[in-house]
Amino acid sequence: MRCGRCGLVMLNPQPDDETLAAIYGETYFIGSDEDSLLEQGNALKRGTAQLQLAEISAYIGARVAADTHPHMLEVGCGLGNFLLEAHAAGFDVQGIDVSTDAVATANAALGEDRARAGMLEEADFKAGQFDIIVLADVIEHVRNPKSFMQYVRTLLKPSGVVFIAVPSLDSLSARLMGRYWVEFKREHLFYFNRQTICQLLKDCGFQDITLSPGQKVLSLGYIIGHFKQFPVPLFTPALKVLERLLPRAPLSRPMQIVASGLNALARVPPHPGK
């Protein structure tokens, strides 16, 4: 369903909380029931995290990122791949995720309890606590994007930065796949494009908005695994055939591609309330 006023697209009807809880189970993270795929997926996600961190550092200033150890929160931290890369890059990181299993894995990887399980709005974070909040593949999952982003804004310091990675209806994959787009999932409650993500950020008091194509590090094998987990008519059967025909090396080779989303960066005004 598309809003006639702002153009935002939403899933209608939306799944209830019980259905969503079942979706976000132990095997939600691709390959989590198969060790080899999980290891490959983690390596690829860390590669994507490096690309995203480069964007964030360029936005805030590379020297600031390196010298001041900005306090960063990742919402939807999953298995902790982004947190690992951000910590290695000098950021003071915390994470939160709805999955207790994912949080346990993230903390084990980090070697300390920097991630917690729960909902952002129910956590005891303080107003103005963070320099940067990262929302990678998160905003499409929340019930009320506007109230969520307004709350995110309160957690940021003056001039604090938000980074968003989100599936985009403007993407080439969305245009090519049409109604079979792989991002049309039961847990994706809202669908954004460049216009609607910009409008959301402006409505929530953010400024200095920049947008860029959502680049990711993926492999053909990982892409095929994704289409197996989220089957798409025509595409999934064709990719299964390709998987049987190709040797292992090309399937596992990492490649940097523009995927199905966009990245947005924006900041809180330097003077609160303005």
What pLDDT score does 246 carry?
Answer: 87
Count up the domains in the chain and report the number.
Answer: 1
Residue 35, pLDDT > 70, answer: no
Of 201-215, 225-239, 259-273, the range with the lowest mean pLDDT is 225-239
What pLDDT score does 96 carry?
Answer: 98
Residue 3 lies in a domain: no
Report the distance separating Cα 91 and Cα 97, nearest Å.
19
Residue 247, pLDDT > 90, answer: no
CATH number of residue 190's parent domain: 3.40.50.150
**pTM greater than the 0.85 cutoff:** yes
pLDDT 10s digits, 190-208: 999 999 999 999 999 999 9
What pLDDT score does 64 carry?
Answer: 61
Residue 239 lies in a domain: no
More confident residue, 65 or 187: 187
Report the distance separating Cα 163 and Cα 267, nearest Å.
9
What pLDDT score does 62 carry?
Answer: 61
Task: Name the average pLDDT for the chain.
Answer: 89
Residue 184 domain boundaries: 9-219+254-267
More confident residue, 149 or 235: 149
Residue 237 lies in a domain: no
Residue 29 lies in a domain: yes
Query: Do residues 31 and 45 make contact, with C-beta atoms less than 8 angstroms apart?
Result: no
For the beta carbon of residue 58, count every other beta carbon within 10 angstroms: 12
For the beta carbon of residue 164, count every other beta carbon within 10 angstroms: 28
Residue 236 lies in a domain: no
Residue 88, pLDDT > 60, answer: yes
Q: How confident is the model at residue 232 (pLDDT cuts 50, 70, 90)?
A: confident
Q: What are phi and psi of 49, to 5 degrees?
A: -60, -40
